[in-house]
């Protein structure tokens, strides 16, 4: 059964996966934020209760 012989395709398979994982890792890491978001622009919430007209 020739498909069980790993010699012709194993090196190609390993090389393609190493290349794929190298490129994929670089692209994923490029989309991370370089800094954490700052809290100086955080808006305070208005926590006043509503006054219902029927009460």
The pLDDT, as a whole number, for residue 1 is: 53
Question: What are the start-end ranges of the E strands in the chain?
Answer: none
Cα–Cα distance measured from residue 47 to residue 49, given in angstroms and rounded to the nearest whole number: 6
Instruction: Give the integer Cα–Cα distance in Å for 43 and 10.
Output: 57
φ, ψ dihedrals at 24, nearest 5°: -65, -45
Q: How far is CA 37 from the centre of its chain?
A: 17
| pLDDT score for 41 | 59
Q: Over the stretch 1-55, which tens digit does the pLDDT of each residue have?
A: 566 777 778 888 999 999 989 988 888 877 766 677 666 656 676 777 777 777 5
């Amino acid at each position: 059964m020739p498909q069980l012989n790993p010699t012709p395709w194993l090196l190609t398979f390993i090389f393609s996966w190493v290349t794929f994982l190298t490129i994929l890792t670089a692209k994923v890491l490029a989309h991370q934020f370089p800094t954490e978001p700052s809290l100086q622009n955080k808006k305070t919430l208005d926590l006043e209760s509503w006054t219902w007209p029927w009460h």
